Chain A
Amino acid sequence: MILITGPAVPERRFFPRLFLQQVLRVVGRVLAALSLIAAITFVLHRLLHVNATTTGLCYLVAILIIATSGGLIESTVASLVAMLCLNYFFLPPIGTLTIADPQNWVALFAFLVTSLTASQLSARAKRRTKEAIDRQYEIERLYSLSRGLLLTDATKPMPQQVIQQIAQAFPFRAVTLYDRHREEIHRGGEDDTPELEGKLREVALRSTVFLDSPSGLTITPVRLGGRPIGSLAIRGSSLSDAALQSLLNLVAIGLERALSQEAVNLAEVSRQSEELKSTLLDAIAHEFKTPLTSIKAVTTDLLSDPSYELPEHQRELITIAVEGTDRLSRLVTDAIQLSRIEGGKFTLHREIQFPSSLVSAALRQMKSLMDGREITVSARDDLPAVWVDAGLIQMVITHLLDNALKYSPSGSPISISARTSDGRVMICVIDQGPGIAEDEQSRIFDRFYRGKGEQNLKGTGMGLAIAREIMDAHGEQIWVVSKPGEGSEFCFSLPTARQGGNE
């Protein structure tokens, strides 16, 4: 529920020009009322010669007519004048303002009270009617505004549309909206608004109402859940408090809706660009791998079939071509993997996974490259499930395995261990290779870094960088423990499904 509160705003203000007009109008109506009383007095006194009772009733009728068609001022003045006329022209002694018979005092007083009360009642009824009509107009306008805000065009900036809708729905002379989130000011209405930027900002910041009666300017904060999100300046407003509050509520909801819509659009744009990047990379992979496929198929076919009986040096040359193809293919695969995930701008598809199945899936993938090397896996049965992107974590394991296979002597054992540590699952790939010097350890995760020594040329320099990008995206660590001559241990941590906030 959205609750917006604000201090009361004075209901109505009179501007000099408007005030003079109103005074003139009242004076005119008073004169008209007096003319009516004068006419009745003339007709009854000079032409018909009726008695005082009839006259009093006629006056009352006239006053009721004045009260219903005019206002309280006219009918009160008419009541007093009629009372004086009744006394002067009709109650004996006629022609004076004195009254002989005390009974006539009572009659005159009763007449005055009746006429004044009638004026009051009818004026009040009239005012109520006018108020009701005003409220109805306000409600109609608020309704048309809320309808307009619901039907806004998503392609145009929302605050500008809000202000246009307000200017359309309400007869304000000028209306200005300050949107605090975007730091923008939008104007609408027929009159030009003087520079209000400072005041609008101040009102939004301090969340107080600003009033400038002479120019008929009101600036009120726009709040959502008590938090000021902007301010609205209105000139020439005759809105009731309640209507102004409803208007502010609608503006607040409109602005908030625009914000959430923007967030959705932004997410959509980033999803589309990710999709585009992915499609592009798939196309590149396909373009590179297609010629590699025919080279590899042809060269391996030449090598495989003993019936071709190749001379030794030709066999060697073709073997070099096959190895070059494999290397290029690996480079393409790694480069595409790296650009797919680099900068962390990709979506993780996390799911609940068991560490042991991640390891065995990676081993299956690597089977053809293992060359009969012995790989032992030690994982406790009671390891908790982890909350990870399975495909990417398998990729990390295969890169670490690939590393271990390349940089340790063939025939030396490789082991994979999975255990818990500090509430996380830790997976390590351990080889018995030459180890990594301390000054190199911090650089091996850098892109295109390859260790010194000829055998390190086998790698692409991207595998560990890919592994680190993937671990960064998971918000987890990857590190190496190694000493020259004692082998290396590459480890990374994984969040358990419980930590991931899932079940």
Chain B
Amino acid sequence: MSTARILVIDDDPQIRRAMRASLTAHDYQVTDARTGEEGLEKLRSAGFDLVLLDMNMPGMGGIETCRLIRSSSEVAIIMLTVSNSEKDKVGALDAGADDYVTKPFSMPELLARIRATLRRLPQPPDPTDLRQLASQGVEIDLSSRQITVRGRTSHLTAKEFDLLSYLLARPNKTITHRELLQAVWGPDYGDELEYLRVFVNRLRKKIEPDPSKPQFLVTEAWAGYRFQLPKQSPLQGVSEP
């Protein structure tokens, strides 16, 4: 895993130098970019596994850069924010980031976040469950991380896909917030409810026929989330043409 390619986008040369030196020492391949525009350009040419993106940059800001990256790529993104406020964190996640780190951060913390973001789920969902979903008009392609809901195809980011896979592997069962966070993000997580709120909303936009009235990704108030698999009954067994 430690050969992952990381793109650092930050306007501060000192931070770029520190990141390059530290991350290279931890066996990552590091490329850097001074602006959002340059970062987007570099992302186009080479396959990166993760982007470290500064939130406050002159020109195109971090949030806008994040949105643009997300519109065309499912690469993992960690935002570097200055403010510790809930608003900024949710703003970063909403723009499509997978995680955020508040400046100034310690290197072990950043490395843990990078590992958590690059970490993949060991256990894919059961194929029979997927077939059952397909009968409801929801088709999931595990290899390309693609999902098709009633003819509309969406790509999922790695974390979105992991979250959905984890829920799909345990259909009709409520999974607690803590379990989901630790399974998908890693053992250091457990209280970051805002991650789940934002990611579940992102997933609902991609898979629910009507995201405001979710029928698959169901919220269990104060407890967690559940993937509601439709029962296989003769009446419901026929999918829409």
In the complex, chain B residues whose CB is within 8 Å of the CB of A456? none
Task: List 29 interface pairs A-B (beta carbons < 8 Å), by A numbering.
Answer: A282-B56, A282-B82, A282-B83, A289-B82, A290-B14, A290-B15, A290-B103, A292-B103, A293-B15, A293-B104, A294-B14, A297-B110, A298-B18, A298-B21, A298-B22, A298-B107, A300-B107, A301-B22, A301-B25, A304-B106, A304-B107, A304-B108, A325-B104, A361-B86, A363-B191, A364-B193, A390-B86, A391-B86, A391-B87
In the complex, chain B residues whose CB is within 8 Å of the CB of A367? 191
In the bound complex, CA of A304 to CA of B107 (Å): 8
In the bound complex, CA of A321 to CA of B83 (Å): 22
**A415 interface contact, C-beta 8 A:** no
In the bound complex, CA of A367 to CA of B178 (Å): 15
Instruction: Spell out B's residues near A (CB within 8 Å).
Output: 12, 14-15, 17-19, 21-22, 25, 56, 80, 82-87, 103-110, 191-193
- B86, A297: Cβ atoms under 8 Å? no
1/0 per residue A382-393: CB within 8 Å of B? 000000001100
- A300, B12: Cβ atoms under 8 Å? no
Among candidates B17, B85, B87, B107, residue contacting A301 with C-beta atoms closer than 8 Å:
B107
Chain A: interface size category: 20 to 34
In the complex, chain A residues whose CB is within 8 Å of the CB of B84? 333, 365
In the assembled complex, the CB of B64 is this many whole angstroms from the nearest CB of chain A, namely 16
In the bound complex, CA of A183 to CA of B75 (Å): 66
User: A297-B19, A298-B22, A300-B108 given as contacts; is B103 within 8 A of A289 (CB)?
Assistant: yes
In the complex, chain A residues whose CB is within 8 Å of the CB of B107? 297-298, 300-301, 304
Q: Give 6 new A-B contacts, CB below 8 A, not counting A293-B12, A294-B15, A297-B15.
A: A286-B56, A289-B103, A293-B15, A298-B107, A301-B108, A390-B86
- A292, B56: Cβ atoms under 8 Å? no
In the complex, chain A residues whose CB is within 8 Å of the CB of B83? 282, 285
In the assembled complex, the CB of B213 is this many whole angstroms from the nearest CB of chain A, namely 23
Residue from the set A289, A291, A367 with the largest chain B CB neighbour count within 10 Å = A289
**A295 interface contact, C-beta 8 A:** yes
In the complex, chain B residues whose CB is within 8 Å of the CB of A160? none
- A364, B192: Cβ atoms under 8 Å? yes
In the complex, chain A residues whose CB is within 8 Å of the CB of B56? 282, 286
In the bound complex, CA of A266 to CA of B223 (Å): 47
Nearest B residue to A364 via CB reads B191
- A297, B106: Cβ atoms under 8 Å? yes
Interface residues of A in 294-337 (CB under 8 A from B): 294-298, 300-301, 304-305, 322, 325, 329, 333
In the bound complex, CA of A473 to CA of B82 (Å): 25
User: A297-B19, A297-B110, A361-B86 given as contacts; is B103 within 8 A of A291 (CB)?
Assistant: no
In the complex, chain B residues whose CB is within 8 Å of the CB of A293? 12, 15, 18, 80, 103-105
Nearest B residue to A308 via CB reads B25
- B22, A297: Cβ atoms under 8 Å? yes
In the complex, chain B residues whose CB is within 8 Å of the CB of A364? 191-193
In the bound complex, CA of A367 to CA of B12 (Å): 29
In the bound complex, CA of A333 to CA of B85 (Å): 11
In the bound complex, CA of A285 to CA of B22 (Å): 24
User: A293-B104, A297-B110, A367-B191 given as contacts; is B17 within 8 A of A285 (CB)?
Assistant: no
- B110, A285: Cβ atoms under 8 Å? no
By Cβ-Cβ distance, the 7 closest A-B pairs, closest first, are A301-B107, A300-B106, A296-B104, A294-B14, A293-B104, A292-B104, A293-B103
In the bound complex, CA of A301 to CA of B103 (Å): 15
In the complex, chain B residues whose CB is within 8 Å of the CB of A329? 104
In the complex, chain A residues whose CB is within 8 Å of the CB of B108? 300-301, 304
In the bound complex, CA of A308 to CA of B106 (Å): 17
In the bound complex, CA of A325 to CA of B191 (Å): 26
Nearest A residue to B87 via CB reads A391
In the bound complex, CA of A325 to CA of B86 (Å): 23
In the assembled complex, the CB of B96 is this many whole angstroms from the nearest CB of chain A, namely 22
In the complex, chain B residues whose CB is within 8 Å of the CB of A291? 12, 14
Nearest A residue to B56 via CB reads A286
In the complex, chain A residues whose CB is within 8 Å of the CB of B104? 289, 292-293, 295-297, 325, 329
Nearest B residue to A333 via CB reads B84
In the complex, chain A residues whose CB is within 8 Å of the CB of B12? 290-291, 293-294
- A286, B82: Cβ atoms under 8 Å? yes
In the bound complex, CA of A294 to CA of B110 (Å): 12
Interface residues of A in 347-396 (CB under 8 A from B): 361, 363-365, 367, 390-391, 394
